Amino acid sequence: MSASGPGKTPQHIAIIMDGNGRWAKARGLPRLEGHRRGVETVRTVVDSARQLGVRYLTLYAFSAENWKRPAEEVSGLMGLLDFFLKRELDNLIKQQVRLHTIGRTDQLPANVQRELARVKEATRHFTQWNLVLALNYGAQTEAADAARAYAEAVQAGRENPAEASWERFRRYFYTAELPEPDLLIRTSGELRLSNFLMLQLAYAELVFTPTLWPDFGHADLVAAVEDYARRERRYGATTEQIKAGAR
Ligand code: FPP
């Protein structure tokens, strides 16, 4: 957990980018047009988060359940991802942003995997700014993958179940190298977590906005960060303890 509280900038923001389909429908456009506009919002928000001093930005770009969508939409989203990675590489390098992924990326189309590997490699020496794309990600699958890796470590004698703790178990999650999110934002008015970072969000502050993802911009991110800055994070302690510097 990061040492953040009233008045502080969140170190890590996670976003459920929702509402692309509704944005398109309201304009009589195909759903993919909403996703296309959503990609432009991704660019804006990456730049805005960096400007605000947010070191980690995690975006839920494709869930493990999104394969259920019509084949045309799935291939359209994969095409947009490929386009985004090709177009943004120079910008990420210029801004010194490192790309990470979480999720079962080995099940993505080969061309997308190649682009991801290329961008990750080209940005892997950056440490200050981090963009994390959740791709073919599901928190329940992640927990199952972590349990399997942990069980193997127990069998190999590298873990002792008697010493099990979140701090040890989290090392087997896709997010092992990342701090836990301080702030979760979900756009489009839906009030759900949709299998996103369930354990990592244990102490995150939640902000839900009715704005659809393609309409989300710098001012919306600033508003969410200001809302976060007004909240007191107690992690189970009391206000008095927090004031006395217990955390
Ligand atoms: C939710 O809107 C959005 C998605 C399932 C995909 C998000 C993808 C992008 C913003 C573009 C690709 C991302 C990157 C990083 C290049 P929805 O389709 O569920 O909207 P609806 O609920 O209004 O139908």
Q: Is 137 in the pocket of ligand 1 (CB under 6 A)?
A: no
- Is 3 contained in some domain? no
For residue 26, being part of any structural domain is answered with: yes
CA of 244 to the centre of ligand 1 (A): 43
Span 79-97, pLDDT tens digits: 999 999 999 999 999 999 9
Which of 82-86, 158-162, 228-232, 236-240 bottoms out in mean pLDDT, i.e. has the lowest? 236-240
User: For the whole prediction, is pTM greater than 0.85?
Assistant: yes
pLDDT digits 0-9 by tens, 157-166: 999 999 999 9
The neighbour count for residue 111, using CB atoms within 10 Å, is 13
Cα of 118 from ligand 1 centre, angstroms = 23
CATH of the domain at 238: 3.40.1180.10
Tally of domains in the chain: 1
Q: Of all protein residues, whose CA lies closest to atom 6 belonging to ligand 1?
A: 61
Residue 76 included in any domain: yes
Query: Does residue 6 register a pLDDT over 90?
Result: no
Range of the domain at 194: 12-246
Ligand 1 center from residue 146 Cα (angstroms): 26
In a domain, 5, yes or no: no
2 falls within a domain: no
Helix, strand, coil percent values for the chain (each to nearest 5): 50, 15, 35
- The percentage of the chain sitting over the pLDDT mark of 70, rounded to a whole number, equals 96
Residue 4 has pLDDT above 50, yes or no: no
Q: Determine, yes or no, domain membership for 27.
A: yes
Q: What is the pLDDT of residue 1?
A: 41
171 within ligand 1 shell (Cβ under 6 A): no
- 137 - beta bridge partners? 63
76 lines ligand 1 (CB under 6 A): no
Predicted local distance difference test score (pLDDT) of residue 235: 83
Rounded to an integer, what distance in angstroms lies between the CA atom of residue 241 and that of residue 244?
5
Cβ–ligand 1 distance for 183 under 6 Å, the answer: no
CA distance 93 to 122: 8
Mean pLDDT of 186-209: 98
Lowest mean pLDDT, pick from 25-29, 94-98, 102-106, 236-240? 236-240
CB of 201 sitting under 6 A from ligand 1: no
Query: What is the distance between the terminal CA atoms of the chain, rounded to a whole angstrom?
Result: 10
Residue at 186 is within a domain: yes
Give the closest residue (by CA) to ligand 1 atom 8: 61
217 assigned to some structural domain: yes
Distances (CA, A) of 144 to 101, 104, 149, 174, 222: 18, 12, 9, 11, 36
Instruction: Look at residue 247 in the predicted model and tell me its pLDDT.
Output: 56
Nearest Cα residue to 13 out of 194, 153, 240, 223: 223
Question: How distant, in Å, are the alpha carbons of 12, 88, 89 from that of 8?
Answer: 12, 29, 30
Amino acid occupying residue 207: V
